[in-house]
């Protein structure tokens, strides 16, 4: 019970009309996650409901901001359902509420929400594209550095499929075309989007890297991916010394003439740091 | 923080990133309407930084203040070391006389895209005390005065009057306040109070800066509300509060007319009116 909890409940109420309705019809259930005192609950329920909807564009502005990092994912989701309610439903979702309560990023909450939709729809391409865009978002937000040999700041690894990559590029192209004349979306004869024909299970190994203000996707061969992945997994268990490369290579069945030289080259290339 | 030692700046105009492109350029205002303004208050967040307009003002060596748009004063630890260092750097570049900003929530959760907002604090004693701690921490870290401002809203939660809330903040910090007359007028209307309600107990000697701004009366599904849109003409309630406070705030150093989105010809008369009221205030 604190002013912070009450503030969070207000934030959710400002974005989710369904929550407002539920907090009046089923207050115990709707407000269960917010740790409010009886007086705080009374204050929340005393708010004139009309005041909560004065800013009609509030959720839309948030969606515009956060979907900028998940553009292809949202495109594929909406192309499949053909309902904008799929996007707006984010604000009524448990993912949104949890992000507010836990003070975590809405970009990743939207990614989780779209992954949930992908699971419901059995849409593997959507799930794969969400994973790539989520990794890009993570690369834009480097976390405080760990010590020892590890992936470089702003670098992530994704194992995906050729079909997923094709769907990502197709969605990005469709968005670019739509941005040229946005009015096209209003027309019944505007090109329809379909991604089902892009199914291709060929494995693709990607390094996702923040470079010069952008986040690039760099396909790499499987052995390099395996080396980088081994370093990532080992470093997550604890700091590892650069000299540990020989052991990591042995663990994945790879041999190189000079493991130390390999470490230096991978650091110089921006994949790793120590 | 010794507010008596703060410089007297006079009458200012507000600006934000890009505001001069479609609204008022403060240097042009100074040139075309000599005597209208003495300083610029720049509303800034670290994500965008300075625009060319404020850089030009700063390079001219003219007085300014720094109004943050990305700090939650209701959260003791929101001003992390990184934010403090970068904000101090920008404030120094600006030559800012002090820091100021709406005391409430400028972002919910992390400082990240999509999280921007402006919400007032929950008006309780523990919230006021936490704000005071945040201000003290910020002033210690920057060496600059930080003036909390009462925010606008259609919804206020908590059991204190907003004037009493900020009075408590000031009593805990020992520092100054920024009283936004337009925002207070909005609060009084939301609560069904007269414009001057609760000002009899307000620590007028802590008011260092005042804001005056236009607002528009609107209606949503039959609910009247005021849009803090910085249109040219302040509400009569705002003028009433401004005149009342100016006569009593003996440590008043600055008044900002928040009219940056308008045309100079639409705000010239109000700059004169504000200066007349400013000039007639009792001096301590």
Q: What is the DSSP letter of A175?
A: H
Contact B221 A53 (CB under 8 A): yes
Which residues on A lie below 8 Å from B119 (Cβ)?
A: 7, 10-11
Any idea what the Cα angle at residue B142 is, between residues B137 and B147, rounded to 5°? 70
| For residues A155-177, average pLDDT | 95
pTM for the structure as a whole: 0.94
Place of tokens 């934000």: B16
Structure confidence at residue A40 as a pLDDT band (50, 70, 90): very high
In angstroms, rounded to a whole number, what is the distance separating the alpha carbons of residues A132 and A130?
A: 5
Give the tens place of pLDDT for each residue, B234-264.
999 999 999 999 999 999 999 999 999 999 9
Which residues on A lie below 8 Å from B158 (Cβ)?
A: 3, 43
| For residues B187-195, average pLDDT | 98
The predicted structure's pLDDT at residue A11: 98
Structure confidence at residue B284 as a pLDDT band (50, 70, 90): low
- Determine how β-strand A155-161 pairs with β-strand A150-151: unpaired
A97: nearest CA partner in chain B? B109
Interface test with A, best of B48, B107, B113 (most A CBs within 10 A): B113
The predicted structure's pLDDT at residue A194: 82
Any idea what the Cα angle at residue B28 is, between residues B24 and B33, rounded to 5°? 95
Which residues on B lie below 8 Å from A6 (Cβ)?
A: 122, 157
The predicted structure's pLDDT at residue A51: 98
| For residues A175-179, average pLDDT | 90
The two structure tokens encoding residue B102? 């709406």
Percentage of chain A exceeding pLDDT 90: 83
Mean pLDDT (chain B) is: 97
Give the tens place of pLDDT for each residue, A193-210.
888 788 899 999 999 999
B223: nearest CA partner in chain A? A50
> A185 pLDDT exceeds 80?
yes
B110 touches chain A (CB under 8 A): yes
The two structure tokens encoding residue A57? 């564009």
Contact A50 B124 (CB under 8 A): no
| Residue A255 three-state SS | coil
Minimal CA separation from A133 to chain B, in Å: 15
Give the tens place of pLDDT for each residue, A223-250.
999 999 999 999 999 899 989 999 999 9
B55 touches chain A (CB under 8 A): no
Mean pLDDT (chain A) is: 94
Give the tens place of pLDDT for each residue, B204-238.
999 999 999 999 999 999 999 999 999 999 999 99
A47: nearest CA partner in chain B? B155
> B85 pLDDT exceeds 70?
yes
Give the tens place of pLDDT for each residue, A20-39.
999 999 999 999 999 999 99
Structure confidence at residue A187 as a pLDDT band (50, 70, 90): confident
Give the tens place of pLDDT for each residue, A113-157.
999 999 998 888 999 999 999 999 999 997 776 789 999 999 999
Contact B220 A11 (CB under 8 A): no
Which residues on A lie below 8 Å from B221 (Cβ)?
A: 50, 53
| For residues B68-86, average pLDDT | 95
Which residues on A lie below 8 Å from B225 (Cβ)?
A: 51, 54
Contact A99 B109 (CB under 8 A): yes
Structure confidence at residue B187 as a pLDDT band (50, 70, 90): very high
Q: Is the dihedral of CA B12, B17, B19, B20 positive or negative?
A: positive
| For residues B153-168, average pLDDT | 98
| ipTM score for this prediction | 0.95
Phi-psi region of A238 (alpha: psi -120 to 50; beta: other; left: phi over 0): left
Residue B220 CA, chain-centre distance (Å), reads 27
Which residues on B lie below 8 Å from A133 (Cβ)?
A: none
Interface test with A, best of B151, B157, B186 (most A CBs within 10 A): B157
Structure confidence at residue A1 as a pLDDT band (50, 70, 90): low
Structure confidence at residue A213 as a pLDDT band (50, 70, 90): confident
Phi-psi region of B18 (alpha: psi -120 to 50; beta: other; left: phi over 0): left
Give the tens place of pLDDT for each residue, B20-51.
999 999 999 999 999 999 999 999 999 999 99
Give the tens place of pLDDT for each residue, B116-139.
999 999 999 999 999 999 999 999
């Amino acid at each position: 019970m604190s002013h912070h909890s009450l503030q969070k409940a207000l934030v959710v109420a400002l974005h989710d009309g369904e929550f407002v309705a539920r907090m009046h019809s089923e207050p115990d259930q709707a407000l269960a996650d917010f740790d409010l005192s009886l007086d705080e609950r009374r204050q929340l329920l005393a708010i004139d409901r009309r005041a909560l909807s004065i800013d009609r564009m509030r959720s839309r502005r948030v969606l515009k901001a956060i979907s900028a990092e998940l553009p292809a994912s949202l495109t594929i989701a909406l192309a499949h359902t053909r309902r904008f309610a799929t996007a707006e439903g984010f604000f009524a979702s448990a993912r949104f509420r949890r992000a507010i309560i836990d003070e975590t990023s809405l970009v990743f909450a939207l990614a989780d929400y779209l992954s949930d939709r992908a699971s419901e729809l059995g849409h593997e391409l959507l799930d794969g594209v969400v994973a790539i865009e989520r990794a890009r978002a993570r690369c834009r937000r480097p976390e405080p550095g760990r010590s020892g040999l590890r992936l470089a700041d702003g670098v992530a690894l994704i194992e995906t499929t050729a079909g997923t990559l094709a769907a990502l590029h197709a969605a990005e192209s469709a968005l670019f075309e739509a941005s040229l004349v946005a009015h096209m979306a209003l027309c019944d004869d505007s090109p329809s989007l379909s991604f089902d024909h892009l199914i291709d299970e060929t494995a693709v190994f990607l390094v996702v890297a923040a470079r010069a203000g952008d986040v690039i996707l760099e396909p790499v061969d499987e052995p390099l991916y395996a080396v980088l992945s081994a370093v990532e997994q080992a470093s997550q268990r604890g700091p590892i010394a650069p000299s540990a490369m020989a052991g990591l290579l042995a663990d994945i069945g790879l041999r190189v003439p000079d493991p130390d030289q390999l470490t230096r080259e991978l650091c110089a290339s921006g994949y790793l740091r120590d | 923080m010794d507010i008596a030692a703060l410089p007297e700046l006079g009458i200012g105009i507000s600006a934000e990133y890009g505001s001069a492109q479609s609204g008022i350029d403060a240097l042009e205002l100074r040139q075309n309407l000599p005597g209208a303004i003495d300083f610029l208050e720049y509303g800034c967040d670290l994500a965008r930084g300075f625009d060319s307009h404020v850089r030009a003002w700063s390079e001219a060596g003219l007085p300014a203040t720094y109004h943050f748009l990305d700090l939650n004063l209701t959260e003791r630890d929101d001003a992390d070391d990184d934010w403090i260092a970068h904000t101090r750097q920008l404030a120094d570049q600006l030559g800012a006389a002090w820091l100021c900003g709406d005391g409430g929530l400028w972002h919910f959760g992390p400082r990240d895209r999509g999280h921007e907002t402006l919400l007032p604090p929950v008006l309780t004693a523990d919230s006021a005390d936490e704000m005071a701690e945040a201000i003290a921490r910020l002033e210690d870290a920057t060496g600059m005065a930080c003036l909390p401002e009462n925010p606008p809203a259609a919804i206020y939660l908590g059991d204190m009057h907003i004037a009493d809330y900020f009075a408590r903040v000031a009593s805990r910090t020992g520092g100054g306040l920024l009283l936004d007359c337009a925002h207070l007028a909005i609060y009084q209307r939301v609560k069904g109070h007269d414009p001057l309600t609760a000002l009899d107990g307000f620590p007028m000697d802590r008011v260092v800066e005042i804001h005056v701004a236009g607002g528009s009366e609107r209606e949503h599904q039959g609910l009247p509300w005021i849009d803090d849109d910085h249109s040219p003409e302040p509400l009569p309630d705002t003028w009433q509060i401004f005149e009342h406070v100016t006569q009593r705030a003996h440590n008043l150093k600055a008044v900002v007319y928040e009219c940056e989105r308008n045309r100079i010809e639409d705000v010239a008369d109000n700059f004169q009116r504000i200066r007349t009221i400013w000039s007639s205030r009792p001096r301590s």
